[in-house]
Structure 1
């Protein structure tokens, strides 16, 4: 099983490339939760995520023959970039299989780091199957994203840093996909300070660890569906599951809407850009998914910042909806001059800002003399949105809130 000695050895191997990322106190999230919140900013790591740590350590421990034959792996994006950069720096040829619908930004970045990219499969599991075919066909070494002791040891260097940077830490919150990250961090921390709690967080649409812990054995999901593509795996790894069972205190889940809210708050209040997987640890804290004491020192690990710009736009919108800052409504107006102006006057008087207006005169849902109007509005928060809706309805408008 993974040891503290292996993690310390990994730190020496990767020190020239991997950054020691900061731990930053957050006034915003401390006030919001009542805890003392310190964010581990792994989103500013080389390649934008923690995966470079494990990839560097694994490739550094390959034999000369394995390096000459090259490596292959499968990844939704962050592991791909880590392996690509680590292999290029070591002079090792790398082939990366990514799902067909992997974020464009991650595909381009992986190619930019020097790897050959093969797009295959609808998700990580199918991409992994193709990568193993290439492993057999070309004699390459497969670099597993999480179920590998040297990879887990590399990820565990984050745990060493957390204890050194925040020695009074009481709880560390870590995202879980396949389990390599939390296995490394939990081993590094609990081997030295066994009283520190380790909380794992999964997306609801990819909760294989929860299912496995309940069953007492590894269970795989038929499919995964989450905005947190970096942790969208159908199953936890065998080695990580053993460590999680022994060293992790609790595993919880968060929804995509809750992930979107945490991501948006990080962007707006902390000026910190993370991807969906990078927001889940903070999301679990904000949503109260686990118990903690007032003032407890908690370190959520923000594991990555590689979010596609199109996805970011969608997630921000979802986050604004969660905060009550965005409202889409539909109503029916008589199709005559001044009707729309009267509606807009009420909205303006209530201090809401109009993003867009859509007129639909040909809808079968309205009468021949009416028009359907859909408005996208910026509001100040849930109370403001509720007040606006009440005012419109009091004025005689039938208003439907659109999702």
Structure 2
């Protein structure tokens, strides 16, 4: 960054808060984009008491878990949300949605971000005589992040409610699936990523909020229709900007008591917020090919995962791959996700037709062939991207890439049924 010599030599660590120094700090912040806030934890934060359920001394059980219809269902949900089960690539989020009375994001978020306390609480509620130390998990609750578990669950509940359930695809079930898929990919990576607690928490939080309030139509539709969102965000990553803005508006609403970052040093809060914003913006599909290309470039560097900036690029890429993982899942799940996304595309196409707008690719229900649309998507988007991810996480190459290849073969065979006169090798 190029700064005037006098400002470049200005040291924040030794500055006294004279009028001149404050003026220089203002110039650095306003015109240089440099965070000049003091890095100490405020006395107000230090003085705050630990809320009930926010420490390992107590057991916080999600009220919605307590309200499940029977002990048998509680036991089944507890098994589905165990640390081991949450790592499965064939995790069935649709089954979880049914078992939890339509609360998939709340339960998955609680189980993943609240681990191991969530698994401990469920086991105790199911009558098991266990100790917290016997459970694995991220343990954001007792780490330096000190995430209050009851506030986390309140926040998850509000974010889940703000997903639009009537959307066939972009709804709370998709969000829950992305959180679990991201978690599974992170666990496949083992210790290779060398990521910090703050980095892992930030990317998981980004997964939770990445599509909140999605209207069920694309950025291209927003821009073509000149919607309020398109005008607010100047046609640039319109929906992604909306999602992450809404997430922090809710979190930092002083009247709502949903600030899950309330016990963290101000500088760390700023860092988490910056990372979540960047991660959600990187889920914009128009950036896909650039993102893949950038990651290939990063992988050519020596020891690329030891560099914090490059490592965060990789974590954002993993989130992006979790977001588009439908065609990388075993056949029954991949077909369910395909049906849902096509239903949503067709609703958008109907709306575009009514408004006299150009109908977006794959959105015309009268001319779009499902198999044909999926062949191109899997062949040119999903498969190459997962092959790159396999170079970072070997288990992806071994466990996930073969599923993608199998799904591609399935859609090629389906196209022979839908359009027997078409060249099946295209």
Task: Give the shorter-chain TM-score range.
Answer: under 0.3
- The structure richer in helix per residue is 2
Larger radius of gyration: 1
TM (norm. structure 1) is 0.28
TM (norm. structure 2) is 0.27
